């Protein structure tokens, strides 16, 4: 592109920060969990200490762990940096407290902060111990866990770590890409069919045969992102 690396780095973050902010509220069955990333000052010069690649002696729930609150129902994903250290009920309220309708069934592990949040928010709450992986009624947080693994692969391996300063931008992009962009991509054939039928004299024919198990025909997505 004939630009310097610092310029391209700045452009990357300007693009990430320009992603649209979606207004929504979770409803129905909603999974929630906290994701952990090691506190990073990557890119800063003159630090008194530095961590060697390949491991860390700062394991455990402590002041070196950046906590991200992640929640998702069938239609929306929210990921917010909440705290560097142990999370509390108030941290969850500040991060995602305004995102829940009263009919939401919250599914989490048995961490006391989640239980306290659900009680204050007036939500039906299903919880389970982490070692059991799911509630006796079958509810789990596997979708959140799957996202966490992919997000950590992107940040820790693909990018060789990211500064905590920029972590929210990457997390927001990941959540946006995994829901909105995927919804548009997997529904592009249906959008095209409706466009041909409603906005042209042409005949829609020879549809493609590609299908996705997780495809979600979301009217909101079509309205906001399609060419209808």
Rounded Cα–Cα distance for residues 75 and 211 (Å):
18
Burial class (CB in 10 A: 0-12, 13-18, 19+), 95: buried
Alpha helices in 103-152 (DSSP H): 112-121, 142-152
Q: Does residue 226 surpass a pLDDT of 70? A: no
- Give the distance, in angstroms, between the CA of residue 65 and the centroid of all CA atoms in the same chain: 18
pLDDT per position as a tens digit, 181-213: 667 778 888 888 888 888 899 999 998 888 776
Locate the domains of the chain by residue range. 23-44+58-180, 187-225
pLDDT per position as a tens digit, 136-148: 889 999 999 999 9
Residue 67 bridge partners (DSSP):
36, 83
Sheet containing 124-128, strands listed edge to edge, beginning at the edge strand earlier in sequence: 77-84, 65-72, 29-38, 105-109, 124-128
pLDDT per position as a tens digit, 53-112: 555 667 788 899 999 999 999 788 999 999 999 999 999 999 999 999 999 999 999 999
Rounded Cα–Cα distance for residues 220 and 22 (Å):
11
Q: Which homologous superfamily is 23-44+58-180 in? A: Ribonuclease H-like superfamily/Ribonuclease H (3.30.420.10)
- The pLDDT of residue 193 is 87
């Amino acid at each position: 592109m004939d630009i310097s690396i610092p310029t391209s780095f700045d452009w990357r973050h300007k693009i990430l920060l320009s992603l649209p902010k979606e207004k929504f509220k979770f409803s129905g069955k909603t999974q929630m969990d906290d994701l952990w990333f090691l506190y990073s000052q990557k890119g800063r010069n003159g630090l008194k200490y530095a961590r060697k690649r390949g491991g860390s002696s700062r394991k455990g729930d402590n002041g070196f762990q950046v906590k991200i609150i992640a929640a998702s129902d069938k239609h929306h994903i929210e990921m917010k940096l909440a705290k560097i250290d142990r999370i509390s009920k108030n941290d969850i309220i500040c991060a995602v407290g305004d995102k829940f309708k009263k009919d939401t069934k919250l599914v989490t592990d048995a961490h006391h902060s989640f239980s306290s949040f659900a009680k204050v928010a007036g939500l039906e709450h299903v919880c389970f111990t982490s070692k059991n992986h799911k509630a006796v009624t079958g509810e789990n947080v596997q979708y959140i866990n799957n996202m966490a693994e992919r997000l950590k692969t992107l940040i820790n391996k693909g990018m060789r770590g990211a500064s905590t300063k920029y972590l929210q931008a990457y997390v927001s992009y990941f959540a946006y890409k995994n829901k909105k962009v995927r919804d548009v991509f997997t529904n592009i054939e249906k959008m095209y069919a409706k466009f041909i039928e409603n906005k042209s004299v042409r005949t829609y024919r020879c549809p493609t045969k590609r299908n996705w198990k997780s495809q979600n025909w979301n009217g909101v997505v079509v309205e906001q992102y399609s060419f209808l």
